[in-house]
Amino acid sequence: MIPWLRNISIRLWLTLMVAVPACFYFLPWFSQLSSRPWQAGFFIGLTGVCFGVISALMHLAGVRMIQKRIHEAKVWEQAGIPARAEKKYLQAVRIYDSFLPSPVRSKKLTLLMTRSLARFALTFDRKSDAFRQAVWVYLSLEPHDDALAALWLEQLAKDDEVTTRDQALLTRLAQTHHRNSGLVPLLARVFLDTGRMDFIARQVYAKVMEDPDLKIDFQQDIQRLTGTPFRKKAVYSDEAIREASGKQAISGKTIRPSVPVAGILEKIRQAGRNLRYRVAGAGWAAIPFINPHDGSGRPIQARWRFYLKAGIIGALCAGALMFIFYPVFFVDEPEPVEKTKTVIEERVPKPFTIQVAAYLKENHARQFVVNLTQKGVDARIKTTTGGGNTWYLIQVSEFEDRQMAAAYGNHLISENIIEEFFVSNKD
């Protein structure tokens, strides 16, 4: 369960690192959407796309790295340097158990890893945990591989101990190859050494006794174990597999449980073995390097472990999504603020002028303006009405305040340019 949580948490963390800035980038756009469901759908869709892309890229990178290490290991293996090949295989195992490959690993990747490790382990007699588990898983998934099955049986016949996990795999191989004349002698020898008298073992013994050449080598041992001579070709029995709860010597072999259990757990495992395990799929076969399970199939209690993993991961995902999208669903929108119109008063830079004359005829006013202009005075005509007549007012220059306007008017009087004036507004 820890690897699942590790993979999911890292992917969620990277997704949030990408999706949250992207959501802020698109915030001005989707804030214009009319309803919150559309906004929430956009958030969820963007997060889902980021999660899928990141997961796919990480898985692809992990697969490429594993393939590269396996290829390099095979090169060293062909060159006759198994020590360096073993290092490369162990590097591939570490990458396989890292956060890069997807937790739901494909069967193709699982077979690639386990096949390569199993062939190397059986060829060069490597017995570390990673290689032993790879052999168990590969032969559980591909029991029809006669070559590797024969190598494993030959190695098992030389070992001093046979674990319950070995027994389960041995049973599966016997079910598959009990009619294979090449593997039957190897199966029979291991069964005899471990004292097996269950139904599968008796099928193998019967097949051995059908061959005249093999009968000479095995008849005495089989009769000694079963207690009855073989007078017929086939002898069948539905006795349960005898498995030792501890270490006990049987015909020179020691049967040792892989994982010691007691009480009700042992009863559950025995009942599961009698009912037969279903063959593990690719997603469960990917766990052998990190989860001690017997490789022959998916145990009954593994279902409950799967439900527990799915529940915890689902709760974490739901909590993360609620944390991200809580403002979208539960935070009320702020009430719109009424905008008040403010009237900006335009201020005239120079609002004052001086008025020096007023005429009823326009031509007189124009002539006076010409005279002032010739004397260097800025003058203009402003038309207004009053007393039923139209007046043409002569205004001179522009000023910021009245004092400046009055001073300029007095200056024009002192120069004998005008005779009188008064300060007025320009407009």
Polymer length in residues for the chain: 427
How do strand 352-359 and strand 249-250 relate by DSSP bridges?
unpaired
Determine contact, residues 254/241, Cβ cutoff 8 Å. Answer: no
Environment class of 111 (CB within 10 Å of its CB; exposed 0-12, middle 13-18, buried 19+): middle
Contacts of 408 (CB under 8 A, 6+ apart): 354, 396, 397, 399
The Cα 5–Cα 66 span in angstroms is 22
| Residue 190 tokens, joined | 């291991």
**CATH 1.10.10.10 is the classification of domain 352-425:** no
In 3-state terms the chain splits into helix, strand, coil percentages (rounded to 5) of: 60, 10, 30
pLDDT number for residue 162:
82
Helices (H), 162-253: 164-177, 184-194, 199-210, 212-226
Q: Where in the chain is the domain with CATH 3.30.70.1070?
A: 352-425
Determine contact, residues 244/255, Cβ cutoff 8 Å. Answer: yes
Tell me the pLDDT of the chain (427 aa) as tens digits: 666 777 788 888 888 888 778 777 777 776 666 566 676 777 788 888 888 888 889 889 989 999 999 999 999 988 889 889 989 988 988 888 888 888 776 678 888 888 888 889 888 888 778 888 888 888 988 888 888 988 988 888 888 788 888 888 888 888 888 788 888 888 888 888 888 888 888 888 888 888 777 777 777 777 777 765 544 333 333 333 333 333 333 344 544 444 444 444 455 455 544 444 333 333 333 333 433 344 444 444 566 677 777 777 777 777 766 666 655 555 555 566 666 666 555 555 667 888 888 888 888 888 888 888 888 888 888 888 877 788 888 888 888 788 888 888 888 888 888 888 888 776 6
Q: Taking the CA atoms of 309, 311, 317 and 323 in sequence, report the sign of the dihedral they define.
A: negative
- Per-residue pLDDT of 73-108, as tens digits, reads 999 988 889 889 989 988 988 888 888 888 776 678
- Per-residue pLDDT of 247-256, as tens digits, reads 333 344 544 4
pLDDT number for residue 72:
92
